[in-house]
Amino acid sequence: MNGSADRRRTGAAPQSARQPWEAPPKVPALPWRTRWSIRLDRARRWEFWPAWLYYLPIVAWILLLGLRHLRPTVFTAANSALDAGGVVGEHKFQALAPLQHNAPDLAAVCTRIAAGDGPLRHTAALRFAEVHGYPVVLKPDIGQRGRGVFIARNAAAVHDYLARFNGAVIAQQYIDGDEFGIFIARMPDQPQVQVLSIVHKTFPQVTGDGQRSLQQLILDDARARLIADTLFARWAEDLQRVPDSGESIALVEIGAHCRGSLFLDATARVTPALVATLTRLADAVPGYAFGRLDLRAPSIEHLQRGDGLRVLELNGVTAESAHIYHPGTPLLVGYAAMFRQWALAFRVGAARARDGAPVTGPVELLRRFVTDLARARQWF
């Protein structure tokens, strides 16, 4: 979610006052030629295909790997740090808590706010914000693909969020800087982690010229127009405003591809110093051996030095090597990377299962997927 010359995110308040869970005002329909042009452009770029369509060959590959290993879900043993290996329905705080305790210099400070409707939830969140300052990041303890992630910039926004959602929530310190997703893996006999993928998450922005409306600026931007529906919903109340000449508007602020971020392949930036820091990070979360770390650093140079990293989230087995979403990546290259990732997931899981790591069975995984589908409806 995100592509600009200045990739650094700031805590400046967005210009749209509407909260993401509020129904947006109705936006006038675009001319049919424009709508079809956008649809054709999206169809030509597989990164915008529906997930069910893209994942069909990958699911077939996972089933084949399960037959080869004679244990269809042995990959869940790759991450005993997370429920069911972090496949679905895991508690994010389950991995963040030991990281905060064992390597506090590598973690964005966070706390878990229990589910419920009482005033104690609001008190806990506001106290956290008072200590660590605004903005504060609020997100569900159980969630995927940026679902329910919200940046609250004042106490009123915190109250609104908690009043709307009564599930367990993580309140997290907002970390400025560049955002990255780093996929790591580690066999039991390996002293260091291996880096499969690094993605630099950038945030689309447009710059006003004093003549065009925000809506037209979005439609004239080669990348932003591809996610016009998402952006129009978020900026519905501001679409007809004409930004001043030179005024920059960050269109997206959450680092998830499905929320509009732009993912740039930075795998070539891996260094021994970064691997050493990532190994210390993995050591701080017992049982974490396979997944993607979402983190921030002051710059990509700091990342390469392994300096100033702050982890936002530790994702499990079903996380993706997100460098495949780099614009222009051929479909077959993306599939090859995902096939390699899943083959390694089975190998790591099998090795760790032999060492006693728990394996979640197919019936329990299916139950978790069904529960997650129901849970998804309450989040934006």
Give the per-residue pLDDT at 14.
46
Do both 302 and 338 map to the same domain?
yes
Q: Domain for residue 321, yes or no?
A: yes
* Rounded-to-integer distance, Cα 331 and Cα 321, Å: 14
Query: What is the per-residue DSSP string for 341-370?
Result: HHHHHHHHHHHHHHTT-----HHHHHHHHH
Do both 59 and 149 map to the same domain?
no
The torsion region of residue 84 among left (phi > 0), alpha (psi -120 to 50) and beta comes to left
What's the pTM value of the predicted model, to 2 decimals? 0.88
Domain boundaries, position 158: 109-174
Do both 144 and 267 map to the same domain?
no
Do both 291 and 363 map to the same domain?
yes
- Closest residue by Cα to residue 140 from 118, 159, 109, 112: 112
* Rounded-to-integer distance, Cα 341 and Cα 321, Å: 8
Give the per-residue pLDDT at 191.
95
Do both 306 and 327 map to the same domain?
yes
* Rounded-to-integer distance, Cα 293 and Cα 277, Å: 12
From 174, 190, 216, give the residue that closes a domain: 174
* Rounded-to-integer distance, Cα 356 and Cα 145, Å: 30
pLDDT in tens, 251-288: 877 656 666 678 899 999 999 999 999 999 999 999 99
User: Given the structure tokens 């605004």, which residue do they identify?
Assistant: 134
Are residues 141 and 372 in contact, defined by beta-carbon separation less than 8 angstroms?
no
- The helix (run of H) or strand (run of E) holding residue 258 is none
Query: What is the per-residue DSSP string for 36-92?
Result: HHHHHHHHHSGGGS-HHHHTHHHHHHHHHHHHHHT-TTGGGGGBTTSGGGGSSS--T
Query: Which tokens go with 235?
Result: 């900026």
Do both 336 and 189 map to the same domain?
yes
Do both 145 and 287 map to the same domain?
no
Do both 181 and 281 map to the same domain?
yes
Do both 58 and 113 map to the same domain?
no
Do both 161 and 189 map to the same domain?
no
Are residues 205 and 175 in contact, defined by beta-carbon separation less than 8 angstroms?
no
Give the per-residue pLDDT at 266.
96
Angle, in degrees to the nearest 10, between helices 119-132 and 155-164 = 140
- Closest residue by Cα to residue 149 from 129, 181, 174: 174
pLDDT in tens, 321-380: 999 999 899 999 999 999 999 999 999 999 999 999 999 999 999 999 888 877 766 665
How many domains does the chain divide into?
Answer: 2
Average pLDDT, 10 consecutive residues per value, the chain (380 residues): 35 51 69 90 89 93 96 95 88 93 96 88 93 93 79 92 89 94 96 96 89 93 87 86 92 69 92 98 96 96 96 93 92 96 97 95 92 72
Give the per-residue pLDDT at 5.
33
The values of phi and psi at residue 178, to 5°, are -85, 145
* Rounded-to-integer distance, Cα 193 and Cα 176, Å: 26
Do both 129 and 72 map to the same domain?
no
User: What CATH number does residue 161 fall under?
Assistant: 3.30.1490.20
Do both 304 and 155 map to the same domain?
no
Give the per-residue pLDDT at 2.
35
